[in-house]
Structure 1
């Protein structure tokens, strides 16, 4: 079971890397007002959602303790990110504030995962 959990953790990290990487590659364009949500950002957020739910299930099946409040907060933040990226995915440009919000929420989600114990 540990190997399976570690595989899903790796996939979860790949998802966050895709979401954050997509944001960081658009930073220069954001300064020029031409930033857009890339498919990598949408796929990264979806990967995070699927692997996160799988990780919770696998950890509970392995009789490990799961902080349900932390998971709930992380999922709420991720659903907001996913909703924003999904709705605005086809637009040529996205407002700076909206794009910055997605980047900020992504970083918040990373800190919730790592700092909240």
Structure 2
């Protein structure tokens, strides 16, 4: 079970890397007002959602304690990110505030995951 959990953790990290990497590559374009959400950002957010739900289930099935409040907060932040990216994915240029919100919320999600013990 530990190997399976570690595989899903790795996939979860790959998802957040795709989301954050897509944001970081568009930073210059955001300054120019031409930033857009890339398909990789949407796929990264979806990967995070699926693997996060799987990790909760696998950890509970393995008898490990799960902090449901932390998971709920991370899920709420991710749903907002996913909604913003999904709704604005076809726009040629995304508003700076919406694009910045996605980057900020992604960083918040990373900080919650690493600092909340």
Structures share fold, TM-score greater than 0.5: yes
Alignment of 1:63-74 (within 5 A): 63-74=63-74
Instruction: Give the Cα separation in 2 of the matches to 1:62 and 1:51.
Output: 16
2:106 corresponds to 1:106: yes
Deviation at 1:31, TM superposition (A): 0.3
Structure 2, unaligned runs of 5 or more: none
Unaligned runs of 5+ in 1: none
Match of 2:9 in 1: 9
Superposition deviation, residue 17 in structure 1? 0.0
Q: C-alpha distance in 1, partners of 2:112/2:13?
A: 14
Aligned residues: 117
Please give the root-mean-square deviation of Cα atoms over the aligned residues, in Å: 0.2
Superposition pairs of residues 87-106 of structure 1, within 5 angstroms: 87-106=87-106
- Work out the CA distance in 1 between the residues paired with 2:9 and 2:19: 15
TM-score of the superposed pair, with normalisation by structure 2: 1.00
